[in-house]
Amino acid sequence: MSQPNTQQAPVARGAGAPPAQAEQPRQYLTFTLGSEVFAIGILAIKEIIEYSTLTSVPMMPTYVRGVINLRGAVVPVLDLSVRFGKTPSPVTKKTCIVIIEITTAGERQDVGVVVDAVDSVLDIPPEQIEPPPAFGARIATDFIEGMGKVNGRFVILLDVNSVLAPEEAALLRTDENLADGS
The structure's pTM equals 0.74
Q: What does the alpha-carbon distance between residue 159 and residue 40 come to, in Å, rounded to a whole number?
A: 7
**Contact predicate 70/50, CB 8 Å:** no
Q: What pLDDT, on the 0 to 100 scale, is given for residue 179?
A: 47
**Contact predicate 115/17, CB 8 Å:** no
**Greater model confidence, 161 or 77:** 77
Q: pLDDT tier at 171 (50, 70, 90 boundaries)?
A: low
- Bridge partners for 103 per DSSP: 108
Please, what CATH class does the domain formed by 26-180 belong to? mainly beta
SS3 163: coil
Domain boundaries, the chain: 26-180
Q: What pLDDT, on the 0 to 100 scale, is given for residue 109?
A: 87
